[in-house]
Structure 1
Amino acid sequence: MDIFKLKQNGTTIKTELNAALTTFLAMLYIVPVNALILSDAGMPKDALLVATALITIIATIFNGLWANTPVALSTGMGLNAYFTYSMVIGMQIPWQTALGAIFISSAVFTILSFTNFRLWIIKNIPLDLRCAISAGIGAFICFIGLSQMGLIVSSPATKVAIGNVADPKVLIGLIGVILMIIFWALKVRGGFVLAIAITSITAWVFGIYETPQSIVSMPVSIAPIFGELDIFSALQISLLPAVLTLFVTHLFDSIGTLTGVGNRANLFSSSEGEKKLARNLESDAIASMAGATIGTSTVTAFAESASGVEAGGRTGLTAVFIGIFFIFTLFFLPLFGAIPANAIYPVLVMVGILMFSELGKINYKDPAICVSTFLTVILMPLTYSITIGLSVGFISYFIVKLALRRWEDLNLGVITLAVISLFAFAASSMPDLFQSIIGG
């Protein structure tokens, strides 16, 4: 295990294993959810279940060995929705061509990953904004957890409202959140996993969720989607807006996630950390090319990796263990699928609480930081987009610094971030206008 430098990073095999299990359970939902979203594009759902698990295994283990970070990789939420609902359904692009577009954008991403461009971008993000990004992702993750559990529901009058706590499934989620908080406050080792186990067993015993009907199943073939990407058709000029949108969204998602997750444990603060960060960026770029080949949407670093970091994960051994756990989903999907969703989502709520505490490190006396922090944090959950929160935060930071004439803070990195942010904001909030401008 010396390749992971466990002692140097202040961790042990047991801690890394516990962290991996925590992250695995927190992100297990991606297998059925991604398959469901991409199946709306006309792709076979059974093959997608296996393909999603497979790319998660390959990408996460590769990242653990290559970058030595506890960061899991899988098909990105939001990016998979853009693939299905904007490209395939909205633009009426065949899913094979859409996969080709992902491969092209990922290839460009990979080339840039082996330069200093992405690392230079991240290093030019002010420290206070890094904390804001972490807190914003925390709020976003918490909102996802609460809404998926049914503790927060949509309302025509107030947009959102409290859910029906009398619903047994919602109650199970609430119990899970309470257990998470108690175990964390008492500093119980493996508290996240213990809370999931208790709520799962409770839900099964009282018949709130169905117990596993079977344990083992053989994975189906991914032949219907493997290697079906159409790169040649994706090279059309008319698809340039889609390729650029994929590229920019992937850039901001990976930067936002890695910055937020890494900031919680100072994973990338040292010179050795910068090397890890660069390799982590290379991993998700290469994994996206592999994902398009296998038959899935864009692969990126997963924000749920923060749960493993909070559980003590510090090295790539955590990522390798996560990948190994996902191997079981190929054969034990009935068992893992029986774990109640509302026993898993409380993890996201607790992680959100922990990440939100980063706001205490921010210097609110700086007007630019104060405004950009608020907009970054509030817009991520309200718009359901890390990209929107990041872009508006950077744009507002630039505008306030410009108004105050603090030229020394407006270096080339900040200006570049502002320009990319404008591009990302336009691509996310005004897709039709953006595509008409780029497409000529």
Structure 2
Amino acid sequence: MDSFFKLKEHNTDVKTEIMAGITTFMTMAYILVVNPLMLSSEGVGMDFGAVFTATALSAVIATLVMAIYAKLPFALAPGMGLNAFFAFTVVAGMGYSWEFALTAVFLEGIIFIILTFLNVREAIINCIPVSIKNAISVGIGLFIAFIGLVNAGVIQTGDGTILALGNITEGKALLAIIGLVITGLLVAKNIKGALLIGIVVTTLIGIPMGITKVPAQVASLPPSLSPIMFKFQWDQIFSMKMLIILFTFLFVDMFDTVGTLIGVSAKAGLLNEKGEVPNAKQALFADSIGTTVGACLGTSTVTTYVESAAGVAEGGRTGLTALSAAGMFGIALFFSPLFTMVPEAATAPALVLVGLFMMSPIKNIDFDDYTESIPAFLTIIMMPLAYSIAEGIVFGMISYVLLKLLTGKFKEVSPLSVFLAILFVAKFFIE
């Protein structure tokens, strides 16, 4: 293990990496239930059990590639947001069949594999300015903390779209607050595996509160993939509507993945002296393979998960963390009732504290240079407010290019950065 993953070189050990992988899995295990619920909802009609199996298997395959080929501590699974676009926009909204949507996801995966081999995606990562790379980490921290608080009901929608404090004196919001106190205490005392312990303890406390539902059985065989596997529809692949859908999948997945790789790598101290992600090409290849294989199995776009930051916060630094997470997804195939009993209120405290841990790169941003700090701030604030890592990067890059060019600092802007900014502006008009 040490020789293959270079554990000593990264100041880590087998126990730390395995605990980190389990923690990452626990914070993202919700996707095993949420993804099948979305894709089997009314108006979409995919088979719930089959999507569960496809979700777990695609996560196993993509995360194994990340672990063994890229050797980075990131886990992958069908992405939130991307599955919502798949289910509620393409299928339920536009009226296309889920087979048509799966075809778009498959084509997206193939295109990403080609772009990865041509180093296009790696070049995009490298052209993002260091100040925005640091801002991405901070923005992701706020974003995942926000996700945790919303999922637990601590923050909820008030009148219209206004956010308000939820009822924190009862239910899952109260459980999340209790969990936050417990997990915070464990973190403050430097207890190894604090986040994972916090999730488990909070889940157990949720039993007498009636929030954690104890399953009738612990183990079960995974449902068959036959209702959804290789169900593609090719008759409209050259239509303009397919092009627009494909572009949206490509855009959101590309910049969500880029943002996650940069942000979590920055927090883990993995970026090199040039601010580049190590093994970026291999990591992006894992994402591409996951999306392609996932479409064949019958699920929406597979992407690198921002919850990987939870494992990094526990000390995960190598592919062994990802290998451990992949193993947990494999086990979950046969013990789904056990893993899916963990309520959102139990994972919320971990996500909130990871949000805190992700804030540290803000110290590296030059706030005295407004051509650096304004784009960085927009990157940070737009991620939670727009509920999108990709949109945060869009606002950061556009403002960075404009401010640099308008203040005469032409030499600080690369041609690829200018091209991306133009593409981002065009995206708003296409939508």
Choose 338-347 or 68-77, whichever is displaced more: 338-347
Task: Return the alpha-carbon distance in structure 2 between the equivalents of residues 313 and 56 of structure 1.
Answer: 18
Aligned match of 1:251: 254
Aligned match of 2:50: 47
Q: How many residues align?
A: 428
Q: What is the CA distance between 1:238 and its match in structure 2?
A: 3.2
Task: Note if contact 2:231-2:298 (Cα within 8 Å) is conserved in structure 1.
Answer: yes
Q: What is the CA distance between 1:29 and its match in structure 2?
A: 0.6
Aligned match of 2:96: 93
Amino acid at match of 2:176: G
Return closer, same or farther for 1:223/1:172 CA change in 2, 3 Å cut-off: same
Match of 1:23, SS? helix
Task: Return the alpha-carbon distance in structure 2 between the equivalents of residues 319 and 341 of structure 1.
Answer: 22
Task: Return the alpha-carbon distance in structure 2 between the equivalents of residues 244 and 42 of structure 1.
Answer: 24
Aligned match of 1:403: 406
Q: Does 1:434 align with 2:430?
A: yes
Amino acid at match of 1:201: L
Q: 2:313 aligns with which of 307, 310, 315?
A: 310
Q: What is the CA distance between 1:27 and its match in structure 2?
A: 0.4
Q: Does 1:366 align with 2:369?
A: yes
Task: Return the alpha-carbon distance in structure 1 between the equivalents of residues 275 and 391 of structure 2.
Answer: 31
Q: What is the CA distance between 1:24 and its match in structure 2?
A: 0.6
Task: Return the alpha-carbon distance in structure 2 between the equivalents of residues 398 and 210 of structure 1.
Answer: 51
Match of 2:163, SS? strand
Aligned match of 1:36: 37
Please, which runs of 5 or more residues in structure 2 have no aligned partner?
A: none
Return closer, same or farther for 1:210/1:237 CA change in 2, 3 Å cut-off: closer
Choose 351-360 or 25-34, whichever is displaced more: 351-360
Q: Does 1:412 align with 2:415?
A: yes
Task: Return the alpha-carbon distance in structure 2 between the equivalents of residues 415 and 271 of structure 1.
Answer: 20
Amino acid at match of 2:386: T
Choose 140-149 or 245-254, whichever is displaced more: 245-254
Task: Report percent identity of matched pairs.
Answer: 39
Task: Return the alpha-carbon distance in structure 2 between the equivalents of residues 226 and 114 of structure 1.
Answer: 27
Task: Note if contact 2:287-2:302 (Cα within 8 Å) is conserved in structure 1.
Answer: yes
* Per-residue Cα deviation, 1:241-291 (whole angstroms, up to 9, x for no partner): 111111111111111110111111122426997551210011101211111
Aligned match of 1:219: 222
Match of 2:74, SS? coil
Please, which runs of 5 or more residues in structure 1 have no aligned partner?
A: 427-432, 436-440
Which structure has the highest helix share of the two?
A: 1
Aligned match of 2:425: 422
Q: What is the CA distance between 1:64 and its match in structure 2?
A: 0.4
Aligned match of 1:334: 337
Choose 178-187 or 228-237, whichever is displaced more: 228-237
Instruction: Calculate the TM-score normalised by the size of structure 2.
Output: 0.95
Aligned match of 1:137: 140
Amino acid at match of 2:59: T
* Per-residue Cα deviation, 1:138-157 (whole angstroms, up to 9, x for no partner): 11101100011111011006
Match of 2:381, SS? helix
Task: Return the alpha-carbon distance in structure 1 between the equivalents of residues 160 and 65 of structure 2.
Answer: 47
Q: Does 1:387 align with 2:390?
A: yes
* Per-residue Cα deviation, 1:191-224 (whole angstroms, up to 9, x for no partner): 0111112212222244443323211112110100
Match of 1:233, SS? coil
Q: Does 1:65 align with 2:52?
A: no
Task: Note if contact 1:57-1:326 (Cα within 8 Å) is conserved in structure 2.
Answer: yes
Task: Return the alpha-carbon distance in structure 2 between the equivalents of residues 143 and 185 of structure 1.
Answer: 21
Amino acid at match of 2:31: I
Q: Does 1:24 align with 2:25?
A: yes
Task: Return the alpha-carbon distance in structure 1 between the equivalents of residues 287 and 335 of structure 2.
Answer: 26
